[in-house]
Homo-oligomer: A and B are copies of this chain.
Amino acid sequence: MASGEQVFMINGGGEDENNFQSNSTLQQKNGVDAQNLFIKEGILDKLDVDKLIASQTTPKTFTIADLGCPVEIDTFAAVQNVIDTVKHKLKLQSNTAHQYEHLSHNLEFQVLINGPTSRDFNALFRSIPMNKPSYYVAGVPGTFYSRLFPKSSLHFAYSSYSLHWLSKVPDGVGDERSPAYNKGKIYCMSSPKIVADAYEVQFTRDIEAFLKARELEVVPGGLVAFSIVTVPTDSKCLTPTFFEILGSVLLDMAAKGITSKKKVNTFNLPIYLPTPQLLEGLIKRNENFSIERMEQLCRPRESFYETDFPEKLTLHYRAVMESLFNDQFGTEVVNLMFDKFKNKVTETAVFMDLTHKQALESFVLLKRKP
């Protein structure tokens, strides 16, 4: 089993249908597999299930929270992975088969699935596995950057690919009177330092708020796991490059009068991709969690050479970010933007120095200190 700062290679994914469930996750498909494996290992290595449930009076409940919940179909598979592993750990921690039977008979699982109030909980609830699952499901609306659950009520909380979404567009970057005005860009990568700083400040606040809320909600000894898109320290990362292509397509369209320059200048993605180093530093500021594991997952460069890569990437970005663009530019402009984006990615990929660029993700496992 790998640990520490080792970099894992994963395969790119993506599917053909034009919907969020299938396409949100060019980075996820096998990232999720890796994450599920890390979660499994985390529970087996770091979670004292026996102690956690012994501290409750009978009957006992093990409570799991999914924070952010971007993809229904993966939610319940991830949930099952956690539950199966907790049960397995409980078996390993039991001295006798009889003791295990007794413990597991009295143990029930509660699964709290969070998402923003705007998400489609009706669809989520319809996607609960048909064969009555062996746990109690509830949906919890609201932002995970604030409190969502009672104090000390969670034993295991995880978040898949949601923490790089900021709680809001950073202050000033969309305001032409602000020194941090991000003119002509939609992300901060090639922007002046003051813009990048505004993004980092917002990300810092959000991670602090996330940990502050979880520090109260997770029981001592409980685990928090999350995966997040990150960038290498030298920033030679493909994802921000693609954000820049999206921005340049919009500028081209503004030059042709298809949309307005002002709309492009004031639009900024509420996304920040930190380096693993920044992330680690921010987590360490919270003294109530210990970092039990931190992994970097690296997408192999090969996947970017696949002939349908521009198509897949466009579908992915569309599924994940379309509504943001629609709100600012309207659906007609956005349709055209994604067409042009696909073409530009196709042209650009040939000239890209792919040998130095890679897409990264980070997996983090934290334990609530006693």
Contact = CB atoms under 8 A, between A and B. Distances in A.
Interface string A129-173: 000000011111110000111111100000000000000000000
A120 B139 CA distance: 12
Contacts of A59: 150-152
Contacts of A141: 125, 128, 137, 139
B120 A136 contact: no
> What is the copy number of this chain in the assembly?
2
A136 B148 contact: yes
Contact of A61 (B55, B117, B140, B150): B150
A148 B117 CA distance: 22
Nearest to A106: B151
A138 B139 contact: yes
Contacts of A228: none
Given A138-B138, A138-B139, A151 B61 contact: yes
A243 interface: no
Contacts of A20: none
Given A59-B152, A150-B136, A117 B125 contact: yes
B136 A126 contact: no
Interface residues of A, number: 28
B125 A112 contact: no
A76 B176 CA distance: 42
A245 B51 CA distance: 63
A136 B149 contact: yes
Nearest to A135: B150
Nearest to A121: B121
Contact of A136 (B110, B117, B128, B147): B147
A108 B138 contact: no
Contacts of A125: 117, 121, 139, 141
A122 interface: yes
A155 to B, nearest CB: 12
Interface in A1-60: 55, 57, 59
B136 A138 contact: no
B108 A150 contact: yes
Contacts of A139: 121, 125, 138-141
A145 to B, nearest CB: 13
Interface in A202-258: none
Given A59-B150, A137-B142, 10 more contacts: A55-B57, A59-B152, A61-B151, A117-B126, A121-B122, A125-B139, A136-B147, A136-B148, A136-B149, A138-B140
Interface of A: 55, 57, 59, 61, 108, 110, 112, 117, 120-122, 125-126, 128, 136-142, 147-153
14 contacts: A59-B150, A61-B151, A108-B150, A108-B151, A117-B125, A117-B126, A117-B128, A121-B122, A125-B139, A136-B140, A136-B149, A137-B142, A139-B139, A139-B140
